[in-house]
Chain A
């Protein structure tokens, strides 16, 4: 080891860069208490930003639908196609699943397995029920010749409602992954952070569904 290195060559070098020296010192100092945030806050906030960008994506699909809702090209309109009884059941499924998802996050917080797994199973079944009704609705519409290629109205309808259904499908896969992770790894801090993100995602899907059942179904039938 040379005498230069032993004397702390890097510090020596920094003598010619007083600005860098000052900067390094300010990084080395412990942060004041009010600047320290937990990883849970950073992760939750970052995922919240993602969810808002997802809502903006949906708003583009909503705007497209609103512009094209009357472009039926002589084909069926919403009033001919939509069945509000099915939509009411779908809405109930998703709202209850949002509630059970909240119960699951409480169950995870107090580390109670029966509560967590029970509420997550209920969320999964309700979400799957929603998806089952939606896929049947799509199939019966396509069987009637009212598929996404029939008119601009139906293209935008399948794009908007299908995008939401795709999100629910991804959410169900995520839900099963979270149940498996809690089972395999326990209530670890990183697993609980992922669970926080999942519950935010699931609640946001319900908010978007409120927009869909109001703007697409209720306004479509009542026009």
Chain B
């Protein structure tokens, strides 16, 4: 059954997150989409675990590589498992996601920035306290 078919009078009906678009509604294609997602996610996970333990690459670049790989894998999960795509039927889902990502970024970057700056500024006092003890 195709949920989008219920609204065929609408040029671009919205689809809820998690449902696939009508052009990928054949069962074989739907399974194929999940298989591609599984393959890509497994590959990115394997590369992450390899990069974390390797001495082949310049050590300071490893955290950056891990973050990039994690974001890529989150994208794979969003597209192939949650079916959040760039199609016109997904505009509302993507807008909600964009706002969520904005809040997450403000919260995490803001917290880490403020707290590391504070720790840095507190350092002399911390050392003074050590001298007293």
Q: Measuring CB to CB, which residues of chain A are less than 8 angstroms from any residue of chain B?
A: 33-34, 36-38, 40-41, 43-45, 47-49, 52-53, 55-56, 59-60, 62-64, 66-67, 84, 88, 91-92, 95-96, 98-99, 102-103, 105-106, 109-110, 196, 199-200, 203-204, 206-207, 210-211, 213-215, 218-219, 221-222
9 A/B residue pairs, CB under 8 Å, sorted by A: A36-B7, A43-B16, A44-B18, A63-B107, A63-B108, A102-B37, A204-B82, A210-B45, A215-B70
- Supposing A59-B108, A106-B27 touch, asked if A199 and B18 sit within 8 A by C-beta, the answer is yes
Cβ-defined contact, B10 with A218, below 8 A: no
* A102 contact set on B, CB distance < 8 A: 34, 37, 81
Q: Which residues of B contact A204 (CB under 8 A)?
A: 82
* Contact of B107 (CB < 8 Å), options: A41, A43, A49, A59: A59
Bound form: Cα–Cα A36–B8 in Å: 12
Report how many residues on chain B are interfacial, defined by Cβ distance under 8 Å: 54
Q: Are A196 and B27 in contact, with the CB atoms below 8 A?
A: no
Distance in angstroms between the alpha carbons of A40 and B1 in the assembled complex: 14
Interface, chain B (partner A; CB < 8 A): 1, 3, 6-7, 9-11, 13-19, 27, 30-31, 34-35, 37-38, 41-42, 45, 48-49, 52-53, 62-63, 66-67, 69-70, 73-74, 77-78, 81-82, 92-93, 96-97, 99-100, 103-104, 107-108, 111-112, 115-116
Distance of A204 Cα from B78 Cα, bound (Å): 8
Contact in complex: B93, A211 (CB < 8 Å):
no
Pick the residue among A59, A63, A99, A214 that contacts B66 (CB under 8 A): A214
Write the chain A residue with the least CB distance to B80. A102
Given contacts A37-B14, A84-B53, contact A219 B34 (CB under 8 A): no
Of A44, A62, A103, A222, the contact of B19 (CB 8 Å cutoff): A44
Residue of A49, A67, A84, A99 with most partner-chain B CB within 10 A: A99
Per the bound structure, the CA–CA distance linking A41 and B28 in Å amounts to: 24
Smallest CB–CB gap between B36 and chain A, Å?
Answer: 11
CB contacts (< 8 Å) of A44 on chain B: these are 15-19
The answer to whether B77 touches A48 (Cβ under 8 A) is no
B62 contacts A222, CB within 8 Å? yes
A67 touches B66 (CB 8 A): no
Given contacts A45-B96, A84-B53, A207-B77, 7 further A-B contacts (CB under 8 A): A33-B10, A45-B93, A48-B93, A49-B96, A84-B49, A99-B35, A215-B70
